[in-house]
Amino acid sequence: MRINRIITGIVLGLIAVHPAFSQATRVKTNIDFDWYFHLGDIANGESAATDNSQWRRLDLPHDFSIEGSYQQTNPAANAFLPGGTGWYRKTIRWESAWKNKEVSIVFDGVYMNSEVWINGHYLGKRPNGCIGFKYDLTPYLKNGENAIAVKVDNSRVPSARWYTGSGIYRHVWLLITNPIHLAWQGSFVRTPQVNNSEAAIHLDAQIKNGSGSKTKVVVTSIIINKVGKEITRHTSEVSLDTGSTAIAQNFIVKNPALWSPETPVIYYLKTIIKKSGQVLDNYTTPFGIRKIEFSPAFGFRLNGKPTKFKGVCDHQDAPPVGAAMPEEVLYSRLKLLKAMGCNAIRTSHNPRSPEFYAMCDTMGFMVMDEAFDGWDHPKAKWDYGNYWKDWWKTDLEDFIKRDRNHPCVVIWSQGNEVPDYHKELNVQEQLYNVYHAMDSTRPVTQAWALDKYLDVAGFNANGEEKNALENFHKRYPDRPAIGTEIPHTRQTRGVYRTQTS
């Protein structure tokens, strides 16, 4: 299994970042191996002095619910498997190369209510189990061994309306950078104008200055095609304040290769930060060049061509391996969908792993990227709605920043089948405003919603009711619509002979 995961990591590295691009000034190291796990809660699990020698040794990603027993007393929504509490511990050894560097730990996803410590120091909590997050370890590291502890609490189930798994079910990384570097998820590449002869490319980036004093740097960004050839570059002299400084750069790409499901071409934008000739950071953002248009007159056009979504709603688990889906299984699933003629996937009803989007970019799937199932009123008794008030904005912003460079993402979904009582609370308006403030390049929809604060109306099963779409277009002739979920339960517009209510 370890060999398979190493091979998979290498393959995914080639998918996400072209092999010709060295990023030696920042080091991102996978630390999935050699964790220790204890099922159940324990006292002082976070303490550096805790003895974990009798705990189970394992590699991540890991789902401890799938290892449990199927029982009728367990919630059906969790596949009759248990939830629970689990502790993970790992020791990392200080390296001399970390001196005067910033060392962070990045979790791609932990389900759910994760709490993290380093050497007994509390780093924070994230209730959402499907959003990645990062903690700065630098102030708490010491020479020798450093103890990382993670508590996962999915003991109150059902915490969703489908199987979620439990545990550190996605990858974990150490990220080492200089004090001055491109901020985590701080690069946003847009293509505001695209045609067959040329494309305008715009970079918005946040540079973090952790040096403690103002300084000047030179930022050079280079666009490189899939075979490693430089297309164009832009260089800026930037005065950095302490903290974070925003920069913008513009480019023109002549005769661009346009991204589509048939031609999923990826470009790479390499950003180099120098001070006095010394390279401080070197980061590569994969992106695609394509034009998306939604209209009630012509439906959806990709690169000016009318295009139909031939899609599926897809959850993140894969029986019998659970939520910690190996990349080999995910890739096999996507290959099968592609062979069936599928060209679109809705991430029902939560963000997927980073590897999913990299594969969709390079295999050619259009993605409806869905942030949440419900909102502030729980649908399942113990779901994310219990934490909504304190966390929705942080989680939504991290979600958008993570995924907005992916050409596969052509539309955002801000929720799924949310009842009308939310209109009184302006929740939809707040979500919509965050999406458009952070990414004006994609429209926003919502499953089973026709409300004001949407760019594209969403039809779930109601889209199969007789004359539903026709009546909508008569009432709202200027608004496009999309079928977000079209099951047989409402009769698929005369195709099936069976009758449903």
Residues forming the active site: 417, 485
Specify the 3-state DSSP secondary structure of 6: helix
CA distances from 235 to 180, 248, 274, 472, 495 (A): 17, 11, 11, 50, 57
Between helix 2-16 and helix 327-339 the angle, nearest 10°, is 60
Q: 210 has which bridge partners? A: none
Q: How far is residue 157's CA from residue 89's CA, in Å, rounded to a whole number?
A: 24
Pairing mode of beta strands 366-370, 145-154: unpaired
Residue 36 CA from chain centroid, whole number:
26
Q: Which amino acid is at 484?
A: T
Q: Give me the torsion for CA of 233, 238, 243, 247, rounded to 10°.
A: -50
Tokens 């002739």 -> residue: 477
DSSP sequence for 325-360: --HHHHHHHHHHHHHTT--EEEETTS---HHHHHHH
Q: How far is residue 417's CA from residue 433's CA, in Å, rounded to a whole number?
A: 19
Q: 478 has which bridge partners? A: none
